[in-house]
Amino acid sequence: MDVLFRWTPSLASLASVLPLVLLYWQVGGASALLSDPNTGVHVRTGEWILVHRAAPKEDLFSFSIHGQAWCDWEWLSDTLYALLYRWNGLAGIAGASLALLSGMAVVIYHTACVYARPAIALAVTFLTVAATTVHWLARPHLFSWLLLAIFCWFFEKFRATRRKAWLLPMPVLMMFWVNLHPGFVVGLALLAMWFLGAVIAWIRNVGQENVPRAKQLRESIFWLGLIGLACLATTLVNPYGVELHRHVLWYLFSPSSVTTHVSEWLSPDFRNPRLYWFALLVPACAAAGFRSATRAQSAWAAISLGSLFLALMAVRNVPLCAVLCAAPVASFMEETIGQRRPGLAPQARPRALTSAHNRIIASCVLAVAGLSLSWVEQPQLALDSATAPAAAAHLRPGRLFTTDSWADYLIFVDPSRRVFIDCRNDLYGPDLVDAYLRVMEARPGWQDILTKYSISVALVPRTSAISAALAASTEWRLSYENATARVFERL
């Protein structure tokens, strides 16, 4: 029996397999990870980087902004995607994405274990990871989720043990993060909240006679401030320097930003089945946040309630909220269900992945999770419908107008063919995005836009407004159609 118990998987091992279960139970399999053809743009950009051994400084795929400066804020992710594609095609990218999600689940579990017993920590991990399924796509934001989870784990371990060694890897991780995805700004904001939380706690402690507590708070302020400044400095280690920061801040906060036109930045639609998990997480996050506020835990209160507010404002922020709230929710659940005193580390420690047996089990779990995507299915880059790629085969040479999503697919299948606009909305800016929407909605002036850019071919959704307008125009003729798409050519 003892031998059998030693080979029983740890709860951390079970946490690592949660994404694989959710992938086939909740999301729809490996192909669902590739349901956004923007993955193809990352692959082709990465191939250009591998050939030229440099990050792109000008646009590569559009004729409407040919030669315009481009800040590819995900250039390192693009390179990794290209390498994965060379290794095992799209299955390699899907497998790596699942591995990132599995790593995130394990880190969230260990973060929850700082404040809760293993069973409760696993339950919190399941709810947290399930809430992120709303945005499970093989795109660079998965790197941000994993790195954000690691940052939270390091800080909570520092908070529980007072060992500054947990903070030291953060600047190194930030140096990679800034080149992988613009979500690094969340890491910087998180460090700022932890720093301000320590400052507020120190101010509250002034005048009291708790000398050891005051000393701990001063040390926390010093080390969090130092690590925060070091992380900020390492964000300059990128091919674009300060321009990258300016570009990210413009995209997030400029009144003329195009985020209002992007579905990911709209409020959550709770009729989406994948958001049911987030609906369960909302009251837990709110309760944890308000409990933290009543107990003068300023950082936890701000993180829980602030991230919940941002998640209710934009569905893209739902996974970030889930990751950030793992520790506060675990502490709240442990106190509520486990009847344990607040802030006290759990007595029963989880069987972590430190024994040889559990390392073997965890390695096998992750290997099966990744390789299963190659063994079970060979996923393909998807579009809204399987008939859209068939229409793309009937395009003649010439300047093309199509949807931003279909343009991403065309960039992947034929990188030499430039498009009018694609899903890199941060690059095109509000004016060109407005011109694109004007044509798609067939609003007055759409003909002038097509003429201005010398567009001679259009691949549009069959039921769209522009499809009806082109069909009624004497300057265009229908050359191909199927159940989903139509191809028009200028006469």
| pLDDT per residue as tens digits for the range 289-308 | 999 999 888 999 999 999 99
CA distances from 389 to 297, 307, 486 (A): 53, 39, 11
> What would the pLDDT profile of 12-22 be if each residue is shown by its tens digit?
888 888 999 99
Q: Which residues pair with residue 461 across a beta bridge?
A: 485
Residue range 422-473, pLDDT digits in tens = 988 888 888 898 999 999 999 999 999 999 999 999 999 999 999 999 999 9
pLDDT of residue 349: 43
**Higher local confidence (pLDDT), 212 or 164:** 164
Domain boundaries of the chain, sorted by first residue = 2-33+71-373, 387-490
Cα atoms in the 13 Å half-sphere on the side-chain side of 458: 32
Sheet holding 476-481, edge to edge: 400-402, 457-461, 485-490, 476-481
452: exposed, middle or buried (C-beta count within 10 Å: 0-12, 13-18, 19+)? exposed
Question: Which pLDDT value is given to residue 476?
Answer: 96
**Angle made by CA atoms 435, 436, 440, in degrees to the nearest 5:** 120
In the chain, % of residues over pLDDT 90: 63
Position 387 scores a pLDDT of 52
CA distances 31 to 77, 457, 484, Å, are: 20, 30, 20
Percent helix, strand and coil across the chain, each to the nearest 5: 65, 5, 30
Tell whether the model's pLDDT for residue 8 goes beyond 50.
Answer: no
> Helix 298-313 vs helix 184-205: angle between axes, to the nearest 10 degrees?
150
Q: What local confidence, expressed as pLDDT, does residue 36 receive?
A: 87
Q: How far apart are CA 82 and CA 79, in angstroms?
A: 5
